[in-house]
Amino acid sequence: MQTKDSVQYEFLSKPDYGFLKVQLKRDQAISVEASAMASMDTNIVMTTKMKGGILGGLKRTFAGESMFINTFTAQEGPGEICIAPGAPGDVEHYTLEQGKNLYLQSSTYLASSPSINVESKWGGWKGFFSGTGLFLIKLSGVGDVFFNAYGGIIEIPVENDYIIDTGYIVAFEDTLQYNVKFLGGLKTSLLGGEGLVCQFNGKGRVWIQTRKVAPFAWWLWPFRPKKSN
């Protein structure tokens, strides 16, 4: 589905090092996460603002996002802009419709139509204890949304109940309810090494990433530089 303000886009280098190329019509714009612009035509002009004011900017910082969002507008003709996410992984597109919301995990927001409202949402203490941060990124409005992940992105249609490790969640639709809990109880989770999971209920879609940052960090730990005595 496309809206009247939908942009023409192309994904490159999927899924390992996803790269987004967007073609803007004259006077068309796209909002991009700070530091994600890789290249652009000379007729594209950038403006910067703190999303949601000071309070909203601080919330975005706690959520692992930049306080600022850059808006790029093609002036005096069409233009091309290339956008690169910070994490080595995939990128995906989602068309947001009126009356619906999309929730993103921290650091997965990449770009969106200027008509999309981007705000941080308190995730409750369950979000804190899950190790995924205090806030989710809530997107509302009508238009294009682009998000990224660490690793590849897999879309999962949920019909009733489904369980996902919190570290693998990228995005989910607001038609789903969720509850963070230990898998099989506290003792079983600690001994089994699985930790906390998120149980989704309802009907909607969830996007997960094929890699998790924490296990990779532990894998690298033995190879860290060591100070010799």
- Mean pLDDT of all residues in the chain? 83
> Which pLDDT score, from 0 to 100, does residue 229 have?
66
pTM above 0.85, yes or no: no
Per-domain residue ranges for the chain? Answer: 8-211
Q: Alpha-carbon distance 127 to 179, whole Å?
A: 9
> Which pLDDT score, from 0 to 100, does residue 228 have?
72
Give Cα 139 distance to the centre of its chain: 10
> Which pLDDT score, from 0 to 100, does residue 41 have?
98
- Would you identify the CATH topology of the domain 8-211? Double-stranded beta-helix (3.60.160)
User: Phi, psi (5° rounding) for residue 204?
Assistant: 170, -170
Q: Alpha-carbon distance 87 to 2, whole Å?
A: 27
Q: Alpha-carbon distance 59 to 67, whole Å?
A: 8
Of the candidates 195, 202, 93, the one whose C-alpha atom is nearest the C-alpha of residue 153 is: 93
Pairing verdict, β 101-104 and 169-173: antiparallel
152 close to 171: Cβ distance less than 8 angstroms: no
41-83 pLDDT, tens digit per residue, is 999 999 998 754 444 555 545 445 556 789 999 999 999 999 9
> Which pLDDT score, from 0 to 100, does residue 124 have?
52
Sheet strands side by side (includes 169-173):
117-122, 135-140, 101-104, 169-173, 204-209, 153-158
What six digits make up the tokens of 156? 């999962």
- Strand-pairing partners, residue 111, are 32, 146
CA distances from 150 to 92, 138, 168 (A): 12, 19, 9
> Which pLDDT score, from 0 to 100, does residue 125 have?
46
- Strand-pairing partners, residue 206, are 156, 172
Which regions of the chain are under pLDDT 70? 1-4, 51-67, 122-135, 184-195, 215, 229
